[in-house]
Chain A
Amino acid sequence: MRQHLLRTLSVLLLFCPLMALGHDYWFETAGEGDYLLYRGHRFSQHEGDKVVPYDPNIITRAYCLRSGSEPPQDVVFTRTYPTLFTGPCQAIVVNADTGFWSQTITGTKNQSKDNLSGVLRSWHALETIKRVELWNKQLLEPLSSELELVFTENPFALVTGDKLRLKATKMGQPVQGVTVAYNGKPRGITDKNGRINLRIRQTGLQVISASYERPLINNIKADKQIDSTLLIFELK
């Protein structure tokens, strides 16, 4: 799997799979440091179309950390597919709301449960993609208000075998109980301070995904909300 991943990465400059089990999201560079967001099946283990266009309206906000002490700025992006984000950025964060999902006996549909019959379960999916290119002390704080994995130290100083210490936040507050995976494998859940430690297994692309869910009480559209986030950076 790791070799497969590395082979894939040799082709894709910026490969950012979101942890959605149905589809992956990833960035590719465009122009002089701009980013294009794609969706499809590039990373997940199940089969599917290589590229699956998405509704660009799922993108709710994007932030770019450019340099120095300048705070993260909203990024201008297109309402086209694939969505283009203006770079370059030391770190870029994209928030997406992929809407309501319902699992029925005939499959999973991107619709709320009140529009379907025979719904087994349903959820509202909020997703965050974070790509970090260079270290900046501002990365010790979340760049967005959605679920995000935040560094507690400079990750680019780490080597294989070191611990990567992260904090999960939402609305700037630590989140407990977030399931965190490294290269697709669950490694643990965040503690009451939102903290979790992972271990660097290899150099190259680091893909950390995380999610948690909470029930939506008396909500006619979904049973629960699932917040997912992806953190990706590269170690030389």
Chain B
Amino acid sequence: MKKSRKLSLTHNTWGWYLLLSSFSYPSLAHHGVAGLGAVGLEGPGAPLESATSATLPAGDTLLYLKLDHAKYDTFDPDPANPESDYANYWMAGIGYGFTSWFSGYFLVPYHSKVDEPGGQDTHGFADISLMGQIGFKYDDGWQLIPENESLADLEDWHFTVFGGFTLPTGDADLRLSDGSIDPGKSTGFGKPAWSLGLTATKMLSLRWTFNQELSTIGFQEYTYDDGNSTKFGQEVRANSSLIYRAYSNPDKRFRADAALEAQYLYLGRDKTNSIEEIATGGDMIYAVPGVRLYWDNISTAIGIKVPIWTDLNEESLQQGGEGTEDYRFIIAFSALF
């Protein structure tokens, strides 16, 4: 039987670079420089899913909502052996710019994991997470992200380090309809997981932006109500993105970017009762083409995530986890206030 694995924390979801609210908007005067409404339309682009080097403006609040719909390849046509069909990973979040260089995020996920007919579905709120992000840059020396940056400054290399942890608010011991516990279908990890990452972002030209994320997530061993213990394998990501500013309309404060991400993901083997599980873990690369639209203080990202290369452990036995998707559809909304 093919093994399904828990899906990763969609941790890298706060990447956001909507600059429209980073500047004031002096009114257009008969005398004087035109207002700055257009400035945000010319800043660096943001990837669709990867973390980026943008910190929130000091005092600003970000609201965030994302859906990651994962449709899995299925292999067994026998209706007596239902496989994982799809999963919807919702994420709602709020971020706040405590300073120009430090942002905090509070994220609440909701997961639906749906099998083919006859299978055992699970739904519920998953583990909430708290994240912090510190931004810094190089401009004649290293410095924290200053309160005020011009478009010329935004062309500099920008970096962030981020880290966070989850709280076990989800139901790790969620019982399936047959009374069993499948850690891969639970809506919680039982114990806090941690994450740590680094991002780098650079405007390559007035239209092109490069973004890089390196990050990892670690898990703790948790003993379930049925007496079994599981420790999910560590995750390592290396996500590279190119963003192209395709269209902007200053009058309507609208901007459209095209983005392409190449996401490398390493998953360590899970361990059950301290024994390495077969058919878990592996390496994979996703391609994520999509668009990001900005309008006023709202941003929408839409993309399709497709595994283009996989080297999974005992690959023929894996189903319903990372690397075995037919596709993932991603849509995210964010607004800055």
Query: How many inter-chain contacts with C-beta < 8 Å in the A-B complex?
Result: 100
Partner of A21, one of B23, B31, B36: B31
Give A126's nearest chain B residue, CB to CB. Answer: B31
Could you give, for residues 20-58 of chain A, a 1 whenever the CB lies within 8 Å of some chain B CB and a 0 otherwise? 111000000000000000000000000000000000000
List, in ascending order, chain B residues with CB within 8 A of A138's CB: none
Could you give, for residues 1-42 of chain B, a 1 whenever the CB lies within 8 Å of some chain A CB and a 0 otherwise? 000000000000000000000011011111111111011000
Cβ of A210 under 8 Å from chain B: yes
Q: How many residues of A contact B (CB 8 A)?
A: 36
Given A187-B150, A196-B150, A226-B31, also A213-B26 (CB < 8 A): yes
Q: How many residues of B contact A (CB 8 A)?
A: 25
A160 to chain B, nearest CB (A): 13
Partner of B34, one of A164, A186, A192: A186
List, in ascending order, chain B residues with CB within 8 A of A226's CB: 29, 31-32
Q: How far is the CA of A234 from the CA of B153 in the complex (A)?
A: 22
List, in ascending order, chain A residues with CB within 8 A of B274's CB: none
Q: How far is the CA of A21 from the CA of B27 in the complex (A)?
A: 13
List, in ascending order, chain B residues with CB within 8 A of A213's CB: 26-27, 29, 32
B194 to chain A, nearest CB (A): 36
A147 to chain B, nearest CB (A): 10
List, in ascending order, chain B residues with CB within 8 A of A127's CB: 31
Partner of B33, one of A101, A125, A199, A210: A210
List, in ascending order, chain B residues with CB within 8 A of A125's CB: 30-32
Cβ of A232 under 8 Å from chain B: no
Cβ of B317 under 8 Å from chain A: no
B24 to chain A, nearest CB (A): 6
Cβ of B226 under 8 Å from chain A: no
Give B32's nearest chain A residue, CB to CB. Answer: A211
Q: B33 contacts A181, CB within 8 Å?
A: yes
Cβ of A191 under 8 Å from chain B: yes
Given A186-B36, A187-B39, A228-B32, 5 more A-B residue pairs with CB atoms under 8 Å apart are A22-B30, A108-B30, A123-B29, A186-B39, A187-B150
- In the A-B complex, list the 7 residue pairs whose CB atoms are closest, starting with the nearest: A188-B150, A211-B32, A191-B148, A199-B152, A125-B31, A211-B33, A179-B33
Residues of A within 8 A of B (CB): 19-22, 98, 101, 103, 108, 123, 125, 127, 163-164, 177, 179-181, 185-192, 196-199, 209-213, 226, 228
